[in-house]
């Protein structure tokens, strides 16, 4: 074949297609129908069963809803914490203020972005790192260590104290205007640097810039209360009131969970990463001077064993995955056997987990919670997932992930150190290897 496609090539391609009855049947089916509905495999569909041998006993009745925002990582983290709070006070349901969390995150990300601009003042505006920094400085996404940094610094408050706003639930326009302002600030900092202003002078400018961002956040999300009262009625109909609480005190005194005891494991079988090695992602974070992102790259079975131990000990597990693959949203099912795409398109899809990551076919897109696991003959077969997309999908908002899907598209779990072998725990005391900010292991923050 020559460099370009010739008319004779097209004739051969067309004859080959039209000589296949099954390809024409597939064409006729897909012209007017959704691919997933046509490709759904009967044996995958008929075996959907939302029952599990092991679930946490204090699972919430009502799942949360992040709506049109990318705050899955924060929702999953706050959902992990609310389980413990509801158990402590024997209450049926509870939600932390995801809006307050978002406010703190956006403010810190703005400062983090401006500090990264100060670190890269000598880069050309069109360098790859500058293009990365300017692309999406305050998107909604994040990683586990970023979540812990925010909670440890700002604490939490009930949703009733700072409820959702329109902009927190539909964040696209707010993000657009704050991003526009941050790009303007980046230009001004770099311009003043070129005019030989000192870094100290630039940081004085930065403080005024952050005041503008703070005001924009107040306009969109509301200004956060400095203290609040919290009152509840427990399952025994007993009334409780707590007065004059501050967010950081609410976290430290009322939430029985030690976030700093939890560590993040990834499974990234890529040619540029070693197993049993500690990694970080350069230029990825939110709280300046907070803990950097740390991932221990481990075998998938290490992740599973730690997650199972956690669930058996009544602790949910935060995780990050590529949720859109082999997934049906209405059914709430993630299953490698759910669809038979190869029969529809009459071609095999041969990329494995490693090559999907390396060639841009998969990355972390969503964070959720494991609240249960089904174990047969000492092996996990499927996982119960608490999502943050409301109650409509799956089993009242709880989804099903098969074990084979876990192998292929789950990339990250967060577990307490006590559930890990000592050799894995020791990895977190090493100096991590830095990954490029566009590495797929940093994608959840976007």
Angle at 422 between CA 416 and CA 423, to 5 degrees: 115
Average of per-residue pLDDT across 105-121? 98
Report d(CA 171, CA 278) in Å as an integer.
33
Question: What pLDDT, on a 0 to 100 scale, did the predictor assign at position 267?
Answer: 98
Contact of 443 with 365, CB cutoff 8 Å: yes
> How does pLDDT run across 187-205, given as a tens digit for each residue?
999 999 999 999 999 999 9
Catalytic residue ranges: 72, 366, 387
> How does pLDDT run across 270-320, given as a tens digit for each residue?
999 999 999 999 999 999 999 999 999 999 999 999 999 999 999 999 999
Confidence of residue 2 (pLDDT cuts 50, 70, 90): confident
Confidence of residue 371 (pLDDT cuts 50, 70, 90): very high
Average of per-residue pLDDT across 205-225? 98
Residue with tokens 């990551």: 357
Percent of the chain with pLDDT over 90: 99
Question: What pLDDT, on a 0 to 100 scale, did the predictor assign at position 341?
Answer: 97
Average of per-residue pLDDT across 18-42? 96
Query: Domain limits of the chain?
Result: 54-445
Average of per-residue pLDDT across 434-438? 97
**For residue 157, pLDDT beyond 90:** yes
Question: What pLDDT, on a 0 to 100 scale, did the predictor assign at position 248?
Answer: 98
Distance (Å) of CA 9 to CA 12, 18, 24, 385: 5, 14, 20, 48
Percent of the chain with pLDDT over 70: 100
Phi, psi of 202 (to 5 degrees): -65, -35
Average of per-residue pLDDT across 62-70? 97
Report d(CA 89, CA 67) in Å as an integer.
28
- 144-154 and 72-89 helices cross at what angle (nearest 10)? 50
> How does pLDDT run across 221-268, given as a tens digit for each residue?
999 999 999 999 999 999 999 999 999 999 999 998 999 999 999 999
Contact of 117 with 129, CB cutoff 8 Å: no
Q: List Cβ neighbours of 109 (8 Å cut-off, separation of 6 or more).
A: 137, 138, 286
Phi, psi of 402 (to 5 degrees): -75, 160
Question: What pLDDT, on a 0 to 100 scale, did the predictor assign at position 1?
Answer: 76
Please compute Rg for the chain using Cα positions: 24
Number of Cα atoms under 13 Å in the Cβ half of residue 11: 3
Contact of 247 with 154, CB cutoff 8 Å: yes
Question: What pLDDT, on a 0 to 100 scale, did the predictor assign at position 391?
Answer: 96
Which fold does the domain 54-445 belong to in CATH?
A: Cathepsin B; Chain A (3.90.70)
Angle at 250 between CA 286 and CA 312, to 5 degrees: 80
The number of residues making up the chain comes to 446
Report d(CA 221, CA 257) in Å as an integer.
27
Q: What stretch of H or E contains 238?
A: none
Start-end of H helices in 41-170: 42-46, 72-89, 98-119, 128-135, 144-154, 166-169
> How does pLDDT run across 402-428, given as a tens digit for each residue?
999 999 999 999 999 999 999 999 999
Report d(CA 436, CA 260) in Å as an integer.
25
Supply 198's token pair.
């000192």
Mean pLDDT of the chain: 97
């Amino acid at each position: 074949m020559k460099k370009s496609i010739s008319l004779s090539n097209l004739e051969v391609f067309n004859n080959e297609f039209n000589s296949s009855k099954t390809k024409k049947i597939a064409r006729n089916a897909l012209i007017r129908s959704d691919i997933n509905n046509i490709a759904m495999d009967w044996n995958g569909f008929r075996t959907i069963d939302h029952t599990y041998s092991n679930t946490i006993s204090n699972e919430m009745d009502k799942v949360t809803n992040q709506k049109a925002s990318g705050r899955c990582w924060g929702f999953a983290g706050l959902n992990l914490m609310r389980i413990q709070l509801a158990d402590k006070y024997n209450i049926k349901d509870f939600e932390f203020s995801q809006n307050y969390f978002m406010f703190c995150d956006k403010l810190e990300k703005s400062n983090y972005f401006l500090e990264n601009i100060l670190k890269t003042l000598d880069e050309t505006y069109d360098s790859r790192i500058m293009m990365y920094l300017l692309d999406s400085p305050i998107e909604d996404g994040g990683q586990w260590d970023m979540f812990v940094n925010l909670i440890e610094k700002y604490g939490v408050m009930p949703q009733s104290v700072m409820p959702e706003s329109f902009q927190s639930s539909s964040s696209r326009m707010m993000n657009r205007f704050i991003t526009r302002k941050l790009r303007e600030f980046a230009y001004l900092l770099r311009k003043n640097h070129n005019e030989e202003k000192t870094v100290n002078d630039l940081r004085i400018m930065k403080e005024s810039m952050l005041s503008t961002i703070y005001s924009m956040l107040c306009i969109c999300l509301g200004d956060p209360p400095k203290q609040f009262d919290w009152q509840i009625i427990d399952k025994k109909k007993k009334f409780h009131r707590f007065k004059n609480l501050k967010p950081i005190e609410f976290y430290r005194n009322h939430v029985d969970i030690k976030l700093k005891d939890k560590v993040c494991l990834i499974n990234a079988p890529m040619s540029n990463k070693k197993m049993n090695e500690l990694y970080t992602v350069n230029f990825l974070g939110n709280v300046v001077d907070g803990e950097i992102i740390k991932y221990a790259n481990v075998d998938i079975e290490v992740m599973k064993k730690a997650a199972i131990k956690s669930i058996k000990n009544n602790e949910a597990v935060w995780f990050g995955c590529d949720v859109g693959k082999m997934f049906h949203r209405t059914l709430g099912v993630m299953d490698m056997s759910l669809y038979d795409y190869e029969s529809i398109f009459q071609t095999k899809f041969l990329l494995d987990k490693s090559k999907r990551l390396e060639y841009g076919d998969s990355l972390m897109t969503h964070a959720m919670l494991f609240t249960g696991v089904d174990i047969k003959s000492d092996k996990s077969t499927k996982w119960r997932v608490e999502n943050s997309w409301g109650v409509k999908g799956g089993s009242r908002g709880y989804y099903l992930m098969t074990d084979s899907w876990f192998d292929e598209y789950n990339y990250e779990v967060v577990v307490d150190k006590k559930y890990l072998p000592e050799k894995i725990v020791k990895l977190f005391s090493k100096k991590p290897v830095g990954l490029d900010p566009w590495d797929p292991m940093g994608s959840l923050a976007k």
